[in-house]
Amino acid sequence: MTSNRLIAFRTIHAMIAAVVAGSLIIQVALLFTGGADANSGDTDADVGVATRLVRLLSYFTIQSNLIVLAVSILLAINPLRTGTRFAVGRFDALLGITVTGLVFAIVLAPQVHLTGAALVATIGFHYISPWATLLAWLLFGPRRQFGPAVIGWAFAWPVAWLLYTFVRGAFVDWYPYPFLDVTEIGYARALLNAVVVLILGAVLAALFRLVDRRAPALLDQTSVGPTSR
């Protein structure tokens, strides 16, 4: 039974990695051919390829999916990988991609109208990746990896991303999301929206910590054998 669970665990994370990698390939191809961005629907035809690439990598969606890609590959190789640094990365993947899915569905989806390849990419980034990642963790675990120190370090990335977004935006007058666009809505409202997103992240972090401590999982370190960092 444990062997079957390990196979299932590896398979779902390999599938998540394939979806994210495929979506990234599609999006990069669109970037170089002048197609729409899967995050905003814009083509950014008025700027060069280098600027479009920097903008792409500046989206929280893309960064969270890149973390999910790395973590999913590592978990497909070793389902019970442990270590503080990996735990921070896994928590960032789980938290970041869940925030991505929720914010897109609630706030951004009504504003973004995509077709063709860009629609395929956004389905991968915003629908399959978030909920498959969350479901895989809820079902399989492993558990008891998210202590207070791990969660504290994991928040360094979202906070750094917000600082980067506002500082860069002040110089280049471009912001990845409308609810953070200082030019359009002003600093007060943009900062308030940023705080709301951080609060959402804190609530999710508390829920994930609770599940990590108390909920059963199909895999755990003690039943399958040794792990590695």
* pLDDT tens digits for range 115-168: 999 999 999 999 999 999 999 999 998 888 999 999 999 999 999 999 999 999
Phi, psi of 228 (to 5 degrees): -140, 160
pTM here?
A: 0.93
Domain membership flag for residue 229: no
Domain membership flag for residue 173: yes
Report CA 18 to chain centroid distance, whole Å. Answer: 15
Domain membership flag for residue 101: yes
Domain membership flag for residue 160: yes
Domain extent for 27: 2-224
Domain membership flag for residue 112: yes
Q: Which of 79-83, 196-200, 219-223 has the lowest mean pLDDT?
A: 219-223
Give the per-residue pLDDT at 221.
54
Question: Could you give the number of structural domains in the chain?
Answer: 1
Domain membership flag for residue 30: yes
What is the percent of the chain with per-residue pLDDT over 90, rounded to a whole number?
78
Q: How many CB atoms lie within 10 A of CB 203?
A: 10
pLDDT at position 229 over 90: no
| Structure token digits, residue 92 | 């960032």
Give the per-residue pLDDT at 218.
81
pLDDT at position 38 over 70: yes
Residue 170: partners with Cβ closer than 8 Å, 6 or more residues away: 182
Domain membership flag for residue 31: yes
Domain membership flag for residue 199: yes
- Rounded CA separation 169/174 (Å): 5
- Rounded CA separation 159/18 (Å): 28
